[in-house]
Amino acid sequence: MKGIVSCLAVLLVVLLVVLLGGLIFSSAPANAGILDWRVNSWVEASLYPLHNEFDPNPGVEFEDRVTARYSLEVFVELRPEDFPRLILFANPHVFFGDSRPQTDYNWRATAIVANGKYGIGYQLFKKPDIQVRIAHGEWIGLGDGYKGEKLLWNAVQVRWIFSAGKGK
């Protein structure tokens, strides 16, 4: 029973974060004092069911693995109004849980690890919306549960954004 109450509490917190994130990070311009900025963002919460947990520890001995029951991902993109093709972005993805594969399936929500991604980009074309981005990412252990490697990575990315809606 205690596990179900904890699960419901986590889901309630995630729901509040999603609702408040939508209010705080709306796509309206925000005055930063020097430049006006356009903010685009989203928040995504995930629940991984029993026997389908996310494993952020590939390559770790089986008995040391801790799998994630939940995750919370946030994406924030900033564009200065004076330079609308310039893009600054951050995309943290945090994994929670304390399940041990084939030994202890539970609903605890201990923070395990975060995958942080951030970078800068430039919009090459508006129609079609094609962007070039330089991104940096890393895995950051949160607490004692994460035994995997804290790998860093960099990438040159090309992003094509398209919409099927009318008038876009």
Q: Give residue 23's pLDDT band: very low, low, confident or very high (50, 70, 90).
A: very low
Mean pLDDT of the chain: 79
In this structure, is residue 132 part of a structural domain? yes
pLDDT at 18: 44
Show the domain range for 117: 2-161
Q: Is residue 116 part of a domain?
A: yes
pLDDT at 92 over 90: yes
Contact 100, 66 (CB under 8 A): yes
pLDDT band at 46 (very low <50, low <70, confident <90, very high): very high
Classify residue 65: in a domain, yes or no: yes
CA nearest to 75, candidates 12, 133, 128, 35: 133
Of 24 and 45, more confident = 45
Label residue 165 by pLDDT band (50, 70, 90): low
Q: Which of 43-47, 53-57, 59-63, 92-96 has the lowest mean pLDDT?
A: 59-63
The C-alpha angle 26, 10, 152, rounded to 5 degrees, equals: 70
Separation CA 151–CA 153 (nearest Å): 7
What does the pLDDT read at residue 78? 95
In a domain, 167, yes or no: no
Residue 11 has pLDDT above 80, yes or no: no
Kindly tell me if the per-residue pLDDT of 112 is higher than 80: yes
Cβ distance 106 to 96 under 8 Å?
no
**pLDDT number for residue 9:** 43
One-letter amino acid at 31 equals N
pTM over 0.75: no
Question: Per the domain annotation, does 168 fall within a domain?
Answer: no
Structural domains of the chain, count = 1
Q: Confirm if 112 and 95 have CB atoms less than 8 A apart.
A: yes
Establish if 166 belongs to a structural domain. no
Q: What is the 3-state secondary structure (H, E, C) of the chain?
A: CHHHHHHHHHHHHHHHHHHHHHHHCCCCEEECCCCEEEEEEEEEEEECCCCCCECCCCCCCHHHCCEECEEEEEEEEEEECCCCCEEEEECCEEEECCEECCCECCCCCCEEEEEEEEEEEEEEECCCEEEEEEEEEEEEECCCCCCCCCCEEEEEEEEEECCCCCCC
Q: Which residue has the higher pLDDT, 6 or 22?
A: 22
Question: With pLDDT > 70 as the criterion, what percentage of the chain qualifies?
Answer: 76
| More confidently predicted of 3 and 129 | 129
Q: Confirm whether 134 is domain-assigned.
A: yes
20 occurs within a structural domain: yes
Higher-confidence position of 147 and 84: 84
